[in-house]
């Protein structure tokens, strides 16, 4: 058993080194450091003013419900990421980089282990796969009405800002898809990537395809909201 654990850690260490070499180009490393690790911040930074401007012609109640979708999505992001950290902590063990069979039992979390200069080996569900998948789908749902939205009620400056935000959000989606591809090639094993992706798909489906169809919810974006009303009329 000890030999198997040691072999698994050594294999994981070699895999990490290989992945770091493959993933160390300045463009990819910069994208991971400044975009992916701050991906939810970028999403909220661009999507919040977009929702405020794109829904400003609707009632205040409808606008508040659309902004509530940001709160729900942020809660989903927080719960899932904290769950991933917890799983990695309870399933892992701290060990010395130079000797995989020497464990440090006094460190019971990844943070304290790495802070002390050691390595942590736990089951690491791909947070990148989760957040990139969920964020891209979330932005897609909220920006979809822009294709048929009438912005003539807005003055020139707000309309220009709205268009710029729409372009920026589409560029962010392209960035997320690209970084998701890089993650799927270079990091984590197949089950970790699969679980991370499924964790991104599940809350999107349960909110926009199930819960948001009900009256007691933040509701759907304007275009789909109007279509649903016509179908029920």
119 in active site: no
CA–CA distances in Å: residue 152 to residues 57, 104, 162, 164, 233: 10, 64, 12, 16, 27
232 in active site: no
Active-site option among 119, 188, 225, 232: 188
- Say if strands 119-121 and 93-96 run parallel, antiparallel, or are unpaired: antiparallel
Active-site option among 119, 128, 225, 232: 128
CA–CA distances in Å: residue 23 to residues 14, 177, 183, 209: 14, 16, 9, 36
Structure-block tokens of residue 11: 């294999």
Q: What residues act catalytically?
A: 128, 188
């Amino acid at each position: 058993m000890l030999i198997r654990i040691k072999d698994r850690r050594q294999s994981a260490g070699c895999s990490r080194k290989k992945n770091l070499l493959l993933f160390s180009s300045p463009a990819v490393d910069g994208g991971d450091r400044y975009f992916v690790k701050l991906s939810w911040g970028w999403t909220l930074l661009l999507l919040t003013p977009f929702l405020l401007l794109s829904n400003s012609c609707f009632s205040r109640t409808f606008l508040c419900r659309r902004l509530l979708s940001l709160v729900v999505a942020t809660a989903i992001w927080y719960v899932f990421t904290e769950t991933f950290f917890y799983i990695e902590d309870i399933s892992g063990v701290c060990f010395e980089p130079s000797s995989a069979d020497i464990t440090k039992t006094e460190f019971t979390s990844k943070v304290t282990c790495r802070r002390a200069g050691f390595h942590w080996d736990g089951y690491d569900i791909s947070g990148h796969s989760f957040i990139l998948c969920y964020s891209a789908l979330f932005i897609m749902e909220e920006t979809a009405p822009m294709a048929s939205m009438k912005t003539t009620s807005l003055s020139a400056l707000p309309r220009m800002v709205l268009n710029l935000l729409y372009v920026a959000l589409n560029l962010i989606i392209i960035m997320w898809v690209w970084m998701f591809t890089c993650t799927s090639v270079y990091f984590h094993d197949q089950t970790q990537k699969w679980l991370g992706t499924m964790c991104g798909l599940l809350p999107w489906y349960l909110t926009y395809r199930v819960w948001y169809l009900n009256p007691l919810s933040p509701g759907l974006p304007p275009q789909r909201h109007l279509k649903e009303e016509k179908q029920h009329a």
